[in-house]
Chains A and B, each alone.
Chain A
Amino acid sequence: MNGVKKVIALTGSTRGLKTASDSMINYLAEKLEGENINLKKFRAYQVFKEEKQIESILGELEDSELILICSPVYVHSLPYPLISLMEQMAEKTGREFWKGKKMVAIIHNGYPEDIQRKAAITICENFAHEMGMEWLGGIGFGGSPIIDGRPLEEVGGFTKWMRKALDDISKSIKTGKGISEEARRCEKKHFPSIPLWILKIMLNLRLKSNARKNEIDLYARPYVKDREEF
């Protein structure tokens, strides 16, 4: 049974056109095209302030079977423009509108640990249930700043398991199924198992060496001198 022919992807990144979210969606779009599934992408930050744009997303959603959220974690949750867009879409529609539609979420972020993505994925799940959609599951990937807006293949080994997971997700989207065990297995393998203390040292070394080179004071306190003086 092929239930899905058209997918609407909403990306949460606010950082422009070359983002990890775009890299993931572009990769998935290509895979879906091979399955004769059309994916239309909307960047939340470009549309959330414009009534007409939101209406046009809802118009596109009308004849689509699946909504895909691909977003970075911003402060343990989804970015403000995406939350605003979801609130506005909910306000403008009733459960009848979403009936029969499915939803998948791909949530990625800087930190490696699963717990750092959990709340953002759960918020997507809650949205799906609140709207009356079928929740097909959420998947998460840490360390996504490494992608730096490049095509996933170009990034190389770091995106190997991510690509495998997305390949699998494109297949399960085609059949209208949820995130498979195989995709979950790839998700678990995605981030290399480096002890946090080593990761911390590596990240700080790079940061501090850049700061020295560019002569910037990482520890500046521009908004206050001292609490007592305030």
Chain B
Amino acid sequence: MKALVLSGLESKNDIYAKVKDILEVEIGNQSYEMDWIDLTEKEIEYCNGCSHCSNIKPGLCAKNDDMQEIFPLMANSEFLIFLSPISFGGFNSELKKAVDRYSALGLPTYTIHRGELHHPPRYENPELFMSIGILEKENEKFQETFKLVSSRIAISCFAEREATVLLKKEQNHDSILTELKRGLLEMGLIS
């Protein structure tokens, strides 16, 4: 089984290595093979809504950049993880540049999913979706918004189970481990 981490977090952040090490062990223990993409090192253009992936060559993004190697990984992951510093309550721009290109992974057709109109997934839907947000400082409104954004993304990628993990920039290894395990437990991945 495949897990994919899309990270908008710069590796120079102290918390980066801690989160990466823990995820490698904990997700590896559940027999997932994990791919980790550092988006800060990738050349990714903004989606210009050109409709190529919906109306011209469905499923194929017209932009020839680093997303072309990320799309197959996204299409094949049973477990999708988004990691990002929290930017005004949402994902930061580094993660968002990849997330905005998500349309290529959806069908242009419409369906009703959880009582709302959505585009169904073009490939198998990820079973699990987890987003990990890093807070600069305590901010309840940011936390609340981040949970909302995460749950909306989980719905639109048709994930079966989801979890949102909120971490603070200065958090130590043990408490990060506790929070990440809580997320995995919430999705029923560990008991």
- Please list the residues of chain A having a beta carbon within 8 angstroms of any beta carbon in chain B: 13-16, 45, 74-81, 83-84, 86-87, 111-113, 115-116, 118-119, 122-123, 126-127, 129-130, 196-197, 199-200, 203-204, 207-208, 210-211, 214, 216-224, 227, 230
Q: Are A227 and B46 in contact (CB under 8 A)?
A: no
Question: What are 8 pairs between A and B in contact, CB < 8 Å?
Answer: A80-B46, A80-B100, A83-B96, A126-B141, A129-B141, A200-B117, A221-B59, A227-B123
Say whether, besides A77-B149, A79-B100, A218-B58, A126 and B88 are in contact (CB < 8 Å).
Answer: yes
Q: How many Cβ-Cβ contacts under 8 Å join chain A to chain B?
A: 156
Q: Contacts of A45 on B, CB cut-off 8 Å?
A: 46, 48
| Complex Cα gap A196–B112 (Å) | 7
> Smallest CB–CB gap between A221 and chain B, Å?
6
> Smallest CB–CB gap between A10 and chain B, Å?
14
Q: Contacts of A204 on B, CB cut-off 8 Å?
A: 109-110
Q: Which 6 A-B pairs have the closest CB atoms?
A: A84-B93, A76-B152, A80-B96, A15-B49, A126-B88, A126-B89
Q: Are A200 and B110 in contact (CB under 8 A)?
A: yes
- Asked if B71 CB lies within 8 Å of chain A CBs, one says yes
Q: Are A74 and B100 in contact (CB under 8 A)?
A: yes
> Smallest CB–CB gap between A213 and chain B, Å?
11
Q: Contacts of B109 on A, CB cut-off 8 Å?
A: 204, 207-208, 218
Q: Contacts of A14 on B, CB cut-off 8 Å?
A: 46-49
Q: Are B102 and A75 in contact (CB under 8 A)?
A: yes
- Asked if B72 CB lies within 8 Å of chain A CBs, one says yes
> Smallest CB–CB gap between A228 and chain B, Å?
10
Which residues of B34-78 are within 8 A (CB) of A? Answer: 46-50, 55-60, 71-72, 74-76, 78
Q: Are A76 and B153 in contact (CB under 8 A)?
A: yes
Q: Are B49 and A224 in contact (CB under 8 A)?
A: no
Q: Contacts of B16 on A, CB cut-off 8 Å?
A: none
Task: Write the chain B residue with the least CB distance to A229.
Answer: B76
Q: Contacts of B19 on A, CB cut-off 8 Å?
A: none
Q: Contacts of B97 on A, CB cut-off 8 Å?
A: 80, 84
> Smallest CB–CB gap between A93 and chain B, Å?
14
